[in-house]
Structure 1
Amino acid sequence: MTTSSGPQARPHRSLGTIDAAAIGAGAMLGAGVFSVFAPAAVGAGAWLPVAIAIAGFVAYCNAVSSARLAARHPEWGGAYVYGTERLGELWGFLAGWAFVVGKIASCAAMALTFAHYALPGWERPAAVAAVVVMVALNFRGIRRSTFVVKVLVLLVLGVLAVSVVAMLMSGRLAAVAEVDGLGPWPGSFGLLGSAALIFFAFAGYARVATLGAEVREPRTTIPRAINLSLATVLVVYMVVGTGLLIVLGRERLITSEAPLVDAVLVSGQPALVPVMVAGAAVASLGALLSLLLGISRTTAAMASDGHLPRRLGIVHERSGVPHRAETAVGAVVIVLILFGDLTSAIAFSAFGVLVYYTITNASALRLGPDENRPPLVAPLGGLVGCVVLVCSLPLPVIGLGVLVLGAGAGLWWVRDRMSHRPG
């Protein structure tokens, strides 16, 4: 089957390596770095750096598989395209379905995080307003959106650097003994469940693959952009996460609602609190912008193939943006903001992302020797890692995720039967 080949799916190839890497880094350096370490520390405790390393390893394996597949399939859709071409229509559909529903939940989490920091007490109205503004910005075209993403990434990196300097000046980073070593073994599910939550914060490099039809020289640009964005974010997460664990201590980190704010307070730098708040807001908006870019394009690819209403696949003639898919995604995100919960949104997003990458790695295993296939350790390690992490999430999240995937498979089966009906 040829995916996304219709006239609706012909965007402009305008992105270079730095542009694409900025989109990936902007998605990863979002609300996660400002909020994920506290709930992750609940399960991992003082083993938090180990959980970060596990999530980083699985993310790297997925990045290698994604890069090789994206180079062979430089078009919208990511694993939706890979799964369809390499494994069959059902697996491709499930990959796209998992990506869309998981990342829509992530959009809600990003918007709510922005609102929590920027306008406490008005979280839901502020989150809705953020989604509306980001959708409108994307309507202006990807070049302008990418410029904004690059600015946001630089600002967030600056804020995180300030927080690290403040923690260093506190002198507490030298007192590593206060962490009590690695502490008691948190259990396999505690450690791996924490790694699954942290992986949610790593998953932004998928945005580079889903923008494959919009980059120049995708065979070289996509792998470089993925590796550059992932390596940068891995270092940032390890430094910030370990610093928070040491400066705040295990118990305070677990109970913190704003770890970076608490860290600068403990460091004796209360004047930096507004900087941390602004950084969290900027990071959330940058991630929200990148997420909406990727989700709308996967939705458009699925619509062009008839798996979703075809009108969602229409691309605007001047901007090259799938504006109807963008609007539909934004509307669903707003519904989740109005009725959903931040913690459950993060966990469910992690479930969807891990399923998506499971299919990605399975697809990479089907690459032939003449297709620049990755070393076996990458897709195999990514496949096993994703399955293990998704099974370590809380049981209610797994149950809901299975139900949603089952509903998607049911929709695909009905469509398939109707398309083969005589007459």
Structure 2
Amino acid sequence: MPLTRRLGLGDAVFLGLGSMVGAGVFAAFAPAAAAAGAGLLPALGIAAVVAFCNATSSARLAARHPESGGTYVYGRARLGEFWGYLAGWGFVTGKTASCAAMTLTVVAYAAPGLGQPWRAVLAVVVVAAVTGVNCLGVHRSALATRVIVLVTLVVLVAAVVSATSGGFVAEPFAPFHGGGVLTAAGLLFFAFAGYARLATLGEEVRDPARTIPRAIPIALGLTLVVYAVVAVALLLTLGPVRLAASADPIAEAAAPWLSPVVRGGATLASLGSLLALVLGVSRTTLAMARDGHLPRFLAAVHPRFEVPQRAELAVGVVVAVLATTVDLRGAIGFSSFAVLAYYAIANASALRLGADENPAPRVVAVAGLVGCAVLAFSLPWPSVVAGCAVLAVGAAAFFVRRRLSRV
């Protein structure tokens, strides 16, 4: 059963913003500053350039392949079944880790003093609530995301104005760790990667050939502006050293009376990101299940709510388990590696677009492919090792399944 096309341009832009202007803006700056110091700013620029190349390639491919699944579909169509499968595997595993990171961010900001095991209980409750909303239909998820994005932007504006009104530190741009800029860019890519959600929802967007190529750059451009403003404000008011050590830098930089509001905004933003992430992961799971790369019972679409409800529930269960067992920074690093691999395949697929298929200039796809590879292997080594291991397991499963199907 096909999914229903309910989402227009505004819905698509807000879903993209909900994925990018979420937990990343509250969680990614501290580890990036720890790696690069004031090199956080050029790292942000590098991450944005790679994201732009990836977004451009994804948008052109989505216009030609308006189906659920994103690069899983593009890689399969343009490069062959294995590369499509590997992209889907990287996306599902990497973004499931992202969902766990978002859940942990919600818990950290909503209940900072809560100890175990109640933190684990709250994480499970959060995942269950988000999964329940998504199971009621994508149009409800889009409406919820629109509200969350608007509230988050208001909170960020208030926090930046409050922080910069209180004076600046003596040396806001020192130290500058040039050797850590690429590592920081790889970590910050975690925050930009949400535009993939629009491509994975291709089967639910009205006029996808026109809507998706417009929505992705709009959402990405708006996100870059927000991140750049917040990054500068944090460096000016906290400095790189204090920023790197902070568990909640935006709340720390804001005036004391505003900190509870910032924490509430961070909680809501993280919920918005989690909502959109679960949507994207479940749609790629649906596409892979349709093709037999995941259990076929996950391909069912609910006749009333018109969503892949079994895939939604399966993703929710896995995220709940991860959120009770992993740590936030480790989840960010692993997610970045897996998703960079996913986008490398997207750019390689874009290089196969014909002249009559409205491709972007080849230099964009080449820059995106090279940028993904460089950033992926610039991440902290535990993230690189874990990412390579998970991709290797996925590849082995593909070839074992193929061999068994021939017996």
**Residue 272 in 1 paired to residue 261 in 2?**
no
Kindly tell me: are residues 17 and 394 of structure 1, through their superposed partners in 2, closer, same or farther at Cα, counting changes over 3 Å? same
Partner of 2:140: 144
- Which of 356, 360, 367 lines up with 1:381 in the alignment? 367
- Cα offset, 1:167, TM superposition: 2.3
Partner of 1:54: 46
Partner of 1:294: 280
**Residue 223 in 1 paired to residue 213 in 2?**
yes
Letter in 1 for 2:82: L
- Which of 68, 81, 87 lines up with 1:95 in the alignment? 87
- Which of 12, 16, 23 lines up with 1:20 in the alignment? 12
- Cα offset, 1:390, TM superposition: 0.2
Partner of 1:393: 379
Partner of 1:263: 253
- Which of 171, 182, 188 lines up with 1:178 in the alignment? 171
- Which of 115, 119, 124 lines up with 2:120 in the alignment? 124
User: Deviation per CA, 1:86-144, whole angstroms, max 9, x where unpaired?
Assistant: 00111000000000000000000101110111123142211111100000011111111
Secondary structure in 2 aligned to 1:154?
A: helix
Distance in 2 (alpha carbons) for counterparts of 1:185 and 1:218? 43
User: Deviation per CA, 1:146-189, whole angstroms, max 9, x where unpaired?
Assistant: 100000000000010101111232232xx7x622x5644431xx
User: Deviation per CA, 1:27-53, whole angstroms, max 9, x where unpaired?
Assistant: 111111011101100111011110000
**Residue 335 in 1 paired to residue 321 in 2?**
yes
Q: Is the 8 A contact 1:78 1:209 kept in 2?
A: yes
Distance in 2 (alpha carbons) for counterparts of 1:234 and 1:377? 22
Q: Is the 8 A contact 1:111 1:127 kept in 2?
A: yes
Distance in 2 (alpha carbons) for counterparts of 1:338 and 1:282? 20
- Which of 28, 48, 57 lines up with 1:65 in the alignment? 57
Letter in 2 for 1:239: V
Distance in 1 (alpha carbons) for counterparts of 2:130 and 2:372? 30
**Residue 315 in 1 paired to residue 307 in 2?**
no
% identity of equivalent residues: 56
- Which of 23, 30, 33 lines up with 2:22 in the alignment? 30
Distance in 2 (alpha carbons) for counterparts of 1:207 and 1:223? 13
Partner of 1:204: 194
Q: Is the 8 A contact 2:174 2:240 kept in 1?
A: no
Per mean C-alpha deviation after superposition, the further-off stretch among 406-415 and 298-307 is: 406-415
Secondary structure in 2 aligned to 1:148?
A: helix
Letter in 1 for 2:398: W
Letter in 2 for 1:69: L
When normalised by structure 2's length, the TM-score is 0.97
- Which of 61, 71, 78 lines up with 1:86 in the alignment? 78
Q: Is the 8 A contact 1:17 1:225 kept in 2?
A: yes
Distance in 1 (alpha carbons) for counterparts of 2:248 and 2:236? 16
- Cα offset, 1:249, TM superposition: 0.9
Secondary structure in 1 aligned to 2:77?
A: helix
Distance in 2 (alpha carbons) for counterparts of 1:141 and 1:151? 16
Distance in 1 (alpha carbons) for counterparts of 2:26 and 2:101? 12
Q: Is the 8 A contact 1:27 1:207 kept in 2?
A: yes
Count how many residue pairs are aligned between Structure 1 and Structure 2.
403
Letter in 2 for 1:202: F
- Which of 143, 154, 158 lines up with 2:154 in the alignment? 158
**Residue 370 in 1 paired to residue 368 in 2?**
no
Distance in 1 (alpha carbons) for counterparts of 2:327 and 2:244? 19
Q: Is the 8 A contact 2:47 2:186 kept in 1?
A: yes
Question: Pairwise mapping of residues 345-360 of structure 1 onto structure 2 (< 5 A)?
Answer: 345-360=331-346
Letter in 2 for 1:125: V
Distance in 1 (alpha carbons) for counterparts of 2:380 and 2:187? 11
When normalised by structure 1's length, the TM-score is 0.94
Q: Is the 8 A contact 1:112 1:342 kept in 2?
A: yes
Letter in 1 for 2:399: W
Q: Is the 8 A contact 2:35 2:177 kept in 1?
A: no
Q: Is the 8 A contact 2:148 2:269 kept in 1?
A: yes
Secondary structure in 2 aligned to 1:405?
A: helix
- Root-mean-square deviation over aligned CA pairs: 1.1
Distance in 2 (alpha carbons) for counterparts of 1:199 and 1:185? 18
Kindly tell me: are residues 182 and 64 of structure 1, through their superposed partners in 2, closer, same or farther at Cα, counting changes over 3 Å? farther
**Residue 44 in 1 paired to residue 36 in 2?**
yes
- Cα offset, 1:230, TM superposition: 0.4
User: Deviation per CA, 1:260-312, whole angstroms, max 9, x where unpaired?
Assistant: 11101xxxx21101110001100010000000000001001000000011000
- Cα offset, 1:340, TM superposition: 1.3
Partner of 1:214: 204
Q: Is the 8 A contact 2:164 2:237 kept in 1?
A: no
User: Deviation per CA, 1:200-252, whole angstroms, max 9, x where unpaired?
Assistant: 00000000000001011101100111011100000000110111011101211
Distance in 1 (alpha carbons) for counterparts of 2:240 and 2:160? 18
Gaps of 5+ in 1: 1-7
